[in-house]
Amino acid sequence: MSLVITGLTVGYGARRIFSGLDLPEIRAGRVTALVGPNGAGKSTVLRAIAGGIAASGQVFWKENDLLRMDVRARSRIIGFMPQGLRDTPGLSVLDSVIASLRVFAPGLPMSACRGQALTALSRVGMIDLALRPLAQVSGGQRQLAGLAQSLVRDPAVLLLDEPTSALDLRHQTDVMGLLKGLAAEGRTIVTVLHDLSLAANWADEIIVLADGGVYAAGPARTVLTPDLFRSVYRVQACTGQAADGGTYVVVTGPLEPPP
Amino acid sequence: MNAGGQADAAVMQAIAGHDRLIRRRLAVIGGLACLVLAGVVLDMGTGPAGVSLREVVEILSFRHSGDTALQVIVWQVRLPTALLAVLVGASLSLAGAEMQTILDNPLASPFTLGVSSAAAFGAALAIVMGITVPMVPKGVAVSVNAFVAAFASVLLIQLFARLRGSSSALVLFGIALVFGFNALVAVIQFVAPTDSLQQLVFWTMGSLSGADTASVTVLAVLLAATFPFSLRAAWPMTLLALGEERAQSLGVHPERLRFACLLRASLLASLAVACAGTIGFVGLIGPHVARLLVGQDHRYFLPSSLLAGAAILSFSSVVAKVILPGVLLPIGIVTSLVGLPCFIALLMMGRGGK
């Protein structure tokens, strides 16, 4: 199974972000990281697949074109975790997850609903904050609540927009470990990441977006090259190998002095 | 305790806490219902005719064998007025709650979206210019005109929503409608003869004096018919409170939900305004009070808004009768005067709902 994206055209108003973008096949059972400089359109790709913005082209999943699907039908396949979740007043983390499942499966008894919501919250490490209002948890914890809202529906494809951006090192590791586990269960995981070390260590596949197209794609060792850092990010950087076998990216400076 | 045991304990703790939360919210709803009941009883026991609360209870329970005039006052004046206060308050507040959620704006209400202003314009056409809907009996011509104009204004908003989807643009369009209809009403007032001008001004102040069995029945039936649909939409509306794009990614169709909610809210608000004139603040304050009490879980928020609005208007009706002895103040004035300090207090509390 795989997600096949071809000819994706999307923009905001008159401004085109992509025109006929083809992405390499995104396979199930793997974590695919979308990386690239600011404004490269990483979040836009995810939002277009999830139906947050209008797009044309084809996004095939099991012979179904997701872009031609109704919002509800699409949400049964795709779980999308946006970058920021709003601090809705007076709605508890648990109730937000229950609401997500309830819209997905209206006939499910309330006790089963709550049980599944609590399981999802346990999985993202938010069980202790289940009763806390969304407005009273940190940005990172809200992201985790958002992940639980998607996870509770058991989606085949999970799209995540910078899931680690507001998390500390331990939670970053936990979330990436969770994504690895979800991929091992046969799900398709696509995540936007800015932290290239995180991408190098946890993603099976990296897709680099730049200048309205795919600059490179493949495993970290073939993609994250000094040439890529220079051309795409305009920095001097290199990758290194840690004692435990992990990969790190070190940036030594900008390619040209700042203006 | 091992990790599995700790996790189980955390889950059990969350379940117990959640049960407590639900019980608390249900208790709030029960409390608001009692408040509405108290408001109705008090409302029925107050008035210039000097009918005591004991007599009211006796008459309502068919145990009063005395004065027929008292029976007429209770059955034909006090009861319809008290029930209309509850129904109008409930309708406006529920309409406001739905509008605030679907337009993602805490300032949205039938008043701020132009529904009331449009109703006033419709009433002005009937009162001053004599322009009414054909075949409608004279006695209800003003109300029917107000309803038609109010409903037409919401259809205009719906049309605008189709053309320009964003909720903030919709709210601005509503505010533009307020100014537009207010200007039209001002023009009509400017050319109106003194007697009809007085009647129009009185109508725009809002009043429950027109309460009768017909208006109470129609509004009760509409509320009973629409509220189950509101409750059915509670889950998607809760998700919509997380943000439009988030709700959409979770399978909610924002446009469809917005259309259905706006249709319900407009029917309720239009009919409420047609029955009682323009009554401000209830549609704004009711949902805010409910949000402070039970939060944004719409299973509890919608019934709480309905009851909060009903209680506010019921008690306003009492205040309207007792504030100046011997004078029945138009209820719209009372709700605005009571609502203003409440609204300012809510604003000062700021993030209280969080």
- Please indicate, yes or no, if residue B201 is contained in any of the structural domains: yes
Instruction: Provide the pLDDT for residue B351.
Output: 46
CATH value at residue B141: 1.10.3470.10
Chain B environment of A86 (Cβ under 8 Å): 242-243, 246
Domains assigned to chain A: 2-254 (3.40.50.300)
Cα–Cα distance for residue pair A234/A240, rounded to 1 Å: 19
Residues 6+ apart with CB under 8 A from A126: A93, A141, A144, A145, A148
The burial of B298, by beta-carbon neighbours within 10 Å (0-12 exposed, 13-18 middle, 19 or more buried), is given as buried
**Strand A78-81 relative to strand A157-161, pairing:** parallel
Q: How far is B142 from chain A (nearest CA, A)?
A: 41
Question: Residue B354: inside a domain, yes or no?
Answer: no
pLDDT tens column, A155-199:
999 999 999 888 889 889 999 999 999 999 999 999 999 999 999
What residues of A are in contact with residue B243 (Cβ under 8 Å)? 82, 85-86
pLDDT tens per residue across span A55-75: 899 999 988 899 999 888 898
Instruction: Name every residue in B having a CB less than 8 A away from some CB of A.
Output: 7, 10-11, 14-15, 17-18, 21, 235-236, 238-239, 241-243, 245-246, 248-253, 291-292, 294-297, 301, 351, 353-354
Coil, strand, or helix at residue B280? Answer: coil
Whether residue B1 has pLDDT greater than 50:
no
Q: How many CB pairs under 8 A join A and B?
A: 117
Residue B124, token pair as written in the block: 């002005």
Give the pLDDT band of residue B353 (cuts 50, 70, 90): very low
Average pLDDT over residues A231-247: 85
Number of domains chain B is built from: 1
pLDDT at A42: 92
The residue ranking higher by pLDDT, B310 or B243, is B310
Give the chain A residue nearest B233 (alpha carbons).
Answer: A103
Do residue B251 and residue A76 have CB atoms under 8 angstroms apart?
yes
Q: What is the pLDDT of residue A258?
A: 59
pLDDT in tens, B163-200: 766 777 888 888 899 999 999 999 998 988 888 888 88
Q: What is the mean pLDDT of residues A65-93?
A: 87
The reply to whether residue A89 touches residue B354, judged by beta carbons under 8 angstroms, is yes
Can you tell me the ipTM of this complex? 0.87
The answer to whether position B32 is within a domain reads yes
Q: Can you tell me the distance from the alpha carbon of A141 to that of A160, in angstroms, rounded to the nearest whole number?
A: 15
Which residues, in sequence order, are CB contacts of B171 under 8 Å at separation 6+?
A: B103, B105, B107, B108, B112, B113
Which residue of B13, B164, B250, B299 to mutate against A (max A Cβ within 10 Å)?
A: B250
Identify the residue among B242, B244, B299 best suited for mutation to test binding to A, counting A beta carbons within 10 A and taking the highest: B242
**Residue range(s) defining the domain that contains residue B309:** 3-349
Query: What residues contact B222, with CB distance under 8 A and at least 6 apart?
Result: B91, B267, B268, B271
Q: Which of B248, B251, B301 sits opposite A52 (nearest CB)?
A: B248
Model confidence pLDDT, tens digit, residues B98-129: 999 988 888 888 888 888 899 889 988 988 88
Tell me the per-residue pLDDT of B29-49, one tens digit each, with 9 for 90 and over: 999 999 999 999 999 888 777
Is B353 in contact with A118 (Cβ distance < 8 A)?
A: no
| H helix count then E strand count, chain B | 15, 0
CA distance A12 to chain B (A): 14
Check whether B27 has a pLDDT greater than 90. yes
* Chain B interface mutation, best of A70, A81, A86, A88, highest count of B Cβ atoms under 10 Å: A88
Query: Does B238 have pLDDT greater than 90?
Result: yes
Q: Given an 8 Å threshold on Cβ–Cβ distance, is B354 in contact with A51?
A: no
| B291/A90 touch (CB, cutoff 8 Å), yes or no | yes
pLDDT digits (tens, 9 = 90+) for B59-68: 887 777 777 7
Between B353 and B63, name the one with better pLDDT.
B63
Q: Is residue B42 part of a domain?
A: yes
Q: How far off is chain B from A187, nearest CA to CA, in Å?
A: 18
Residues of B in contact with A89 (CB under 8 A): 291, 295-296, 351, 353-354
Whether A117 and A94 have beta carbons less than 8 Å apart is answered as yes
Of B310 and B64, more confident: B310
Asked if B354 and A136 come within 8 Å (Cβ–Cβ), the reply is yes
